[in-house]
Amino acid sequence: MFHWLEKHPFFFAVGVFVTIAFAGLIEILPNFAQASRPVIGTAPYSTLELAGRHVYIKNSCNACHSQLVRPFKSETDRYGHYSLSGEYAYDRPFLWGSKRTGPDLMRVGNYRTTDWHENHMKDPASVVPGSIMPAYKWMFTNNADVDTAYAEQLTVANAFSVPYNEPVPMKDGSTKIVKMGKNLAEARALALAEAKEIVADMKDQDVKDAVARGEIPEIVAIIAYMNSLK
């Protein structure tokens, strides 16, 4: 067989190519599969966080902010550890972005607080002098769409086996359970309970009163989403 291949260089080259390609797939594919699995500390989004993510997308925040820290020192010094593929396991769609008019937000939950986001969304220039970001004051009066967020939870939980209501390992060795309501009423109750925790650190009285009435303004939902980005 080898003697025949030596006399037919074309088939010899094809054989070498197939062998190397097969060996490469055997070596590479398992690493890709492993890298795409959720890394420790990555948990699925709660109903309120998903509602906030929808607000983020609806207002095209991803047009000016990326969510992808590249493995360069200039980026890791500013934004923290570079992004890992497994950190996007529950992102549908990915919000990597292709332009940075504003800073990257991949790990914004590590260094910004609820009250900072509240002031920044209401009047960006008062928090970041010279900022060209517009004010998003309508988020303080518009209500978040919790129902659509819950519908997405149901879809991904059934289609992709997202571990809702299951313990997820965190980086500090603890576990986190992200609850998904058994029905829409329970999902709304869970989102409202989380919203009350958010507004406890906010100053806007109208927003506080809205949550007390059982409403969830968009600003509360998007802050919940921002706080989850770590």
Chain segment 98-139, per-residue pLDDT in tens: 889 999 999 999 999 999 999 999 999 999 999 999 999 999
The pLDDT value recorded for residue 26 is: 65
- Which residues lie across from 143 on neighbouring strands? 217
- Which residues lie across from 217 on neighbouring strands? 143
Q: Whole-prediction pTM value?
A: 0.84
Q: How far, in whole angstroms, is CA 149 from its chain's centroid?
A: 14
The pLDDT value recorded for residue 25 is: 65
Secondary structure of residue 175 in the 3-state scheme: strand
Beta carbons within 8 Å of 29's beta carbon, 6+ residues apart? none
Checking if the pLDDT of 194 tops 60, the result is: yes
- What would the mean pLDDT of 173-182 be, rounded to a whole number? 92
Checking if the pLDDT of 11 tops 80, the result is: no
Checking if the pLDDT of 32 tops 60, the result is: no
- What would the mean pLDDT of 86-104 be, rounded to a whole number? 92
The pLDDT value recorded for residue 12 is: 73
User: What is d(CA 16, CA 215) in angstroms, rounded to the nearest whole number?
Assistant: 65
What mean pLDDT value characterizes the chain? 90
**Radius of gyration of the chain, Cα coordinates, nearest whole angstrom:** 23
Q: Give the pair of three-digit tokens for residue 10.
A: 């074309």
User: Which has more confidence, 35 or 133?
Assistant: 133
Phi, psi of 176 (to 5 degrees): -130, 135
CB atoms within 10 A of CB 154: 15
Strands (E), 82-219: 167-169, 175-177
